[in-house]
Amino acid sequence: MPKIKLFIATTLDGFIAREDGSLDWLTGMPNPGQTDHGYNEFIQSIDTIVMGRKTYQEVLGFGVPWPYADCMTYVATTNSRFETSTPSTGIIRAINSETIQQLRLGSSKNIWLVGGGEIITAFLNEHAIDEMIISVVPIILGKGIRLFAHQPAETHFELVSSTAFDTGVVNLEYCKTA
């Protein structure tokens, strides 16, 4: 059965975006060698993507062609008037065990939980995140959107590996314990 994997960058103080959703701290990070921090290998392992509406709109704002055209993408939102504008993109209105089961049944590879913080917590509270790759970027923002928003359920993970890059980024890979 496909695994649901969180692959996300966070600051040292646990933020995934500025308060306004901006990722300028990430996109502006010095990376002279164009290190992909494991992204290319990861993206080959997935065929389904789940993200929140704000994250979807942030990606659209990058001004590039839709980067996930080869995957089925789902945008989670409770906004009944929201419509997507990208190929192979559907909408999820609720995060619950039934939705998660449908996602797993519809995927032949793994499922990438992109973000943001609210959807991450919703999946965590459904005990649906199987693995996490957290790229810790050496910056402190002081405020912003938390990696785990609101009240995440206590969940235990085991460290599988850690990889340090020349950029100062450290990937921490975890799997959920039984």
Q: Indicate whether 104 belongs to any domain.
A: no
- Residue 170 lies inside a defined structural domain of this protein: yes
| Strand extents, DSSP E, 12-156 | 15-17, 46-52, 72-76, 89-92, 110-115, 131-137, 145-146
Whether 101 maps to a domain, the answer reads no
Instruction: Render pLDDT for 100-139 as a digit per residue (tens, 0 to 9).
Output: 999 999 999 999 999 999 999 999 999 999 999 999 999 9
Q: Examine residue 116 and say whether the peptide bond preceding it is cis (omega within 30 degrees of 0).
A: yes
Q: What is the pLDDT of residue 63?
A: 87
pLDDT for position 90: 96
Domain-located, residue 124: yes
Q: Tell me whether residue 106 is in a domain.
A: no
Q: What is the mean pLDDT of the chain?
A: 95
CA distances (Å), origin 38, targets 14, 25, 95, 150: 20, 19, 28, 28
Kindly report the CATH number assigned to the domain that includes residue 54: 3.40.430.10
pTM value is 0.94
97 in any annotated domain: no
Q: Are 144 and 11 in contact (CB under 8 A)?
A: yes
Low-confidence residues of the chain, pLDDT below 70? none
Hey, is 154 helix, strand or coil?
coil
In a domain, 93, yes or no: no
What is the reported pLDDT for 178? 72
Q: Which residue segment(s) compose the domain that 47 sits in?
A: 4-25+35-88+115-176
- What's the total number of domains in the chain? 1
Residue 30 lies in a domain: no
CB 72 within 8 A of CB 50: no
Q: Give the pLDDT confidence score for residue 72 in this predicted structure.
A: 98
